[in-house]
């Protein structure tokens, strides 16, 4: 069983930055593909970014490309999401997810474990 715990959310002004962290339990974290998703009120959960087990491959949603950066530290069992140039439309609950076969996918249904989420609010 894998447990994922997100942190780092909060209230930020438009144009500001936040860094989200997701700490994972378990000794096999380094073999998983890891992703971030988000869900705004009244909307479906949407893909944000994914990173391969090695950290060498990443993929982003068009809406965050060039503004967000996903990274991981396998020694710390942690994945990060650096969010810059934040916009009000980035407001959502952000979730990290683990895919145990290391398959890079943007489909939420393919992910095996999920965190509880952390709220990000971008507002003036």
Residue 83 structure tokens = 């969010």
The pLDDT value recorded for residue 44 is 96
**pLDDT mean across residues, the chain:** 95
Whole-number Å distance between alpha carbons of 87 and 91: 8
- Whether the Cβ atoms of residue 15 and residue 80 lie closer than 8 Å to each other: no
Q: What is the pLDDT of residues 49-96, one digit of tens each?
A: 999 999 999 999 999 999 999 999 999 999 999 999 999 999 999 999
CA proximity to 48, closest of 32, 35, 57, 66: 35
If you average pLDDT over residues 13-28, what whole number do you get? 94
Bridge partners, residue 23, by sequence: 5, 78
Give the confidence band of 5 by pLDDT, cuts at 50, 70, 90: very high
If you average pLDDT over residues 10-22, what whole number do you get? 98
What percent of the chain lies above the pLDDT cut of 70? 100
Q: What is the pLDDT of residues 98-116, one digit of tens each?
A: 998 878 899 999 999 999 9
């Amino acid at each position: 069983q894998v447990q994922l715990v997100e942190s780092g959310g909060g209230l930020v002004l438009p144009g500001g930055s936040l860094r989200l962290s997701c700490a994972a339990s378990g000794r096999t974290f380094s073999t998983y593909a890891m992703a971030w998703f988000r869900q705004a009120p009244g909307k479906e959960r949407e893909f944000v970014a994914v990173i391969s087990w090695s950290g060498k491959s990443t993929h982003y949603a068009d809406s965050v490309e060039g503004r967000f950066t996903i990274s991981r530290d396998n020694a710390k069992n942690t994945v990060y999401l650096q969010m810059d140039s934040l916009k009000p439309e980035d407001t959502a609950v952000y979730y990290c997810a683990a895919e145990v076969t290391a398959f890079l996918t943007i489909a939420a249904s393919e992910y095996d474990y999920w965190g509880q989420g952390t709220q990000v609010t971008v507002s003036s």
